[in-house]
Every structure is written in C-alpha cells, then in structure tokens.
Amino acid sequence: MSKRIFWILAIGLHFLFLLMQLLGHTTMLQDTKEYLFAADNLIQYHQLYCNDFSAPLNPDYLTKRPFLYPAILAIFRLISFENNSIFLAIVLIIQNCVSLFNLKIMLKIVSHFKGDVNYLYAFILLIITPAQLIYANLIMTEIWLQFIILMLLNYFLFYRDSKKWQVYASILCIAGIALKPVIIFLALIFPALIIYFYYKKLNLRLIVISILPAIFVLLTIQWNAKRTGSYQYSAISTINLLHYNAYTLLIHEEGISKADSTIDDITKQSLQRASYSEQQKYKEKAAKSIIGNHIGAYTYLHLRGAFLCLLDPGRFDITQFFNLPHTQNLVYEASKKNNKLQLVKSFINPLGIVLIGLFACNIFKLIFGVKFIFSKHTKSLNKFLLLLFPLYIILITGPIGSSRFAIPFIPIYFAIILITLSRGKV
C-alpha cells in the first residue's frame, strides 16, 4: 500500500465515524455531560464546576474535571455562537484532525527508525483498533491527551538540543496535567528526565523549566483548597480509589451485594464529618484500609487491569458509540467469583463474534509489544523512550483497565509494533 492510499483510507475512516456522530445519535457518556456542564458553567458563571448549578452543590464537581478541556470546549461554544449543531461539528472536526496528526507523528517516528513504513500494516492496525476512531468522535479528552504525549515523545526523541523545545515540553507537561489527572506524575517524571539527559550541562534555566509542572500542580492544589477546603488536585482520585479500586476488590472478595452495602455505608459515614476535607480523608482512609486488608487480591486485580487495558476489545466503546444494548459491566462481572459461564454467554451474539476477533487481534498486538521489550535490535534509550508512556499508563490504570485507558498511547503502540515488524537496529 502506498502512503497516498493509506492517508485516503485513514481520512475516509475518520470522516465516516464523524458522519455517524453528526448525522446519527450523538453519543453522550457521563464524562461527556460533565465536560459540557463545566464548559457552560465557565461561560455563564465563570466557575469551574462540572455539574448542573441549579442542583444542590457537590464539592466533588468543583475539582473533578481539570480546567483545560472545559476551557477548550468553552472556546468552541463561543465560536459556534452556542449553536449545539455547529459546536458539535467544530469539536469533532478538530478532534479528527488531531487524531490524523497523531497518526502522522507516529509514522514519522517509525520512518525515522526504519527508513520506510509498511503502510498496509499501519492501516491494518488502525482497522483493528476502532477505539482510535471512536474517541476522535466523542467529546472526551483522550485524543487530546494522546497528542500531548506524542509531542512529548517527539521532543525527547528528536529535539532534545533545542532550547525552544525544552520550554515547549514543560508547557506540554502542564497541559497534560491540566487535561487529565492521571498524568499528574509527569510533574516528577519530567524533572527526572531533564536531569538524566542534561546532567552534564544542567543550569538554572533548565532547573526552572523542569519544575514548572510541579509548581503548576502545587498552585492548583492550593486553589482547590480555597474552593473546597480539601488539599487535592482533583476529587477524581478519591472517587476512583473508593468507587472503582476498592469497590472492584470488594466485588471480587465478598460479592456485589456486600460491596454495594460497604461502599454505601462508607459514603454515609463520610457525610457525618463536619467538613468536605474530613469527608475526603475518611473516604480515602476507608478505601486504603479495604485494599490493605486484601493486598494480595488487589495486586492480582491491579495487574489484571493492566492486561485488560491492552486486551480489552472495547465492548463498552462500541456499544456506546453505535447505540447498541449495553446491559452489563464486564469488568465488574469478571470480578465476581465463579462467573465464567456468564461472561462466555455475553459473547454469544453477533457483536460478541466481532469482539472475539478484536480480542484475538489485541493478543497479536501484545505479542509484538512484548517482543519489542526483549528485542536486541533496539537501542536501550530508544526502547526506554518508546515504552515510557505506555508502561506508565498501564501500571497506573488499576483494576478497571479497559481499551479506553490505552487511547493515550495507541499511536506509540502502533509505532512499537511496526518497528518490531521491521529489521535492523533502531
């Protein structure tokens, strides 16, 4: 396949999924609704709050969604004169352009290492990874985070000697943290990388550049404390810890009824605390206690989540995007003991056959990903840089791993596979 044909087909696929959203049933996930509330509240009330202001105030929604994506959506709202159809078209067209640009950077990386690109393999990877096309056409942060991660990788691979790019990289780190709390540890990783690459010529300028993301995190925590009384970067950390990590563990250990009652009891007990800060601390302590009491089982579930992040065929993504029946959360179903028969039955349908095929393709991709890790044809530094973000996201994902969590590093994953399929040292 020629480069020209690849781009015609890649653009065509993005355009097809775009039309499905614009002309069909627009998919609105719960996260989407919160981002839209946050954007509208920025415009109307000049407040970052990702819920309906007419409902009783919930401090969680003051910090749950960082400001960058709501700010982007707010700008698009204003540009579209707050016309919903124009707004949706602008958001999705730009996100599709970002997705295509991300693929271009991926091909640039492969071309740099290989000298040429097998565009047929690249297109096959895109076909068997529908999440890339789906999330380019949802009001979600994933494609934007993907862009930030790719640009950071682009810097560390190709522009480390550029003083201008050193500043850009620091700004990109801040943008990533302001987009998605999962990237918060970049505030520590970025200075470590700066020290590693520039230890022989470290100066005050580089030190200041390296700590800017950490300063941004501390300032945001201080700002949030003034708004809520709780020193947190985002309430999502406590929500995930209790309602996903601890809850999934309880389902696995004690069953869904006991898990529901335990989480409900913790929530009720927390509301008896005098302040929001004390409520958050109580929830965190209770969740950590549950995990600490079953650390072996939690370790297993956390590692399972890492594998699911890579192997999940994307049942949730596909059913939501194409407006198909979605009656079960398979992550929670898989956490129940002695429930293998129920899981098998959920795949005995036309969609299930497609998902089994995608699952098989994901195993194929994982094999080449693992092969890359142990490859002797790849220089250690290049291997480290290409694996850094995928491994970071996989390891931090936790028990609820799914295809959605792999979106930020999909183009890097593509590059790793394409490089592994090539020969010669890179």
Indicate the Cα dihedral angle 140, 367, 414, 240, nearest 10°. Answer: 20
The string over 384-393, giving b where at least 16 C-beta atoms fall within 10 Å of a residue's C-beta and e elsewhere, is: ebbbbbbebb
How far is CA 254 from each of CA 36, 106, 223, 248, 301, rounded to the nearest angstrom?
A: 37, 44, 39, 10, 14
- State the pLDDT confidence band at 425, using cuts at 50, 70 and 90: very low
- Give the pLDDT confidence of 108-164 residue by residue, as tens digits: 999 988 778 999 999 999 999 999 999 999 999 999 999 999 999 999 999 988 999
Q: Which of 217, 218, 216, 192 has its CA nearest to residue 206?
A: 192
Quickly list DSSP for 64-82: SS-SHHHHHHHHHHHHTTT
Could you tell me how many residues make up the chain?
426
- State the pLDDT confidence band at 379, using cuts at 50, 70 and 90: confident
Q: Which of 389, 414, 399 has its CA nearest to residue 145?
A: 389
The string over 161-194, giving b where at least 16 C-beta atoms fall within 10 Å of a residue's C-beta and e elsewhere, is: eeeebbebbbebbbbbbbbbbbbbebbebbbebb
- Give the pLDDT confidence of 73-88 residue by residue, as tens digits: 999 999 998 899 999 9
What residue spans define the domains of the chain?
1-141, 144-179+185-229, 233-293, 304-426
Q: Rounded CA gap, 322 and 283, in Å?
A: 36
- Give the pLDDT confidence of 282-334 residue by residue, as tens digits: 999 999 999 999 999 999 999 999 988 999 998 889 988 988 876 565 555 55
341 has a pLDDT exceeding 70: no
The larger pLDDT score, comparing residue 403 to residue 288, is at 288
**Given this model, what pLDDT does residue 161 score?**
87
Q: What is the pTM for the complete model shown? A: 0.92
Q: Which of 91, 101, 35 has its CA nearest to residue 66?
A: 35
Token pair in block for residue 204 = 């005050």
Q: State whether residue 53 is helix, strand or coil.
A: coil
- Give the pLDDT confidence of 229-266 residue by residue, as tens digits: 999 999 999 999 999 999 999 999 999 999 999 999 99
Q: Which of 288, 285, 306, 290 has its CA nearest to residue 400?
A: 306
Chain-wide mean pLDDT for the chain?
A: 91
Q: List strand residue ranges (DSSP E) for 239-390, in order.
A: none
Q: Which of 206, 181, 179 has its CA nearest to residue 195?
A: 206
- State the pLDDT confidence band at 24, using cuts at 50, 70 and 90: confident
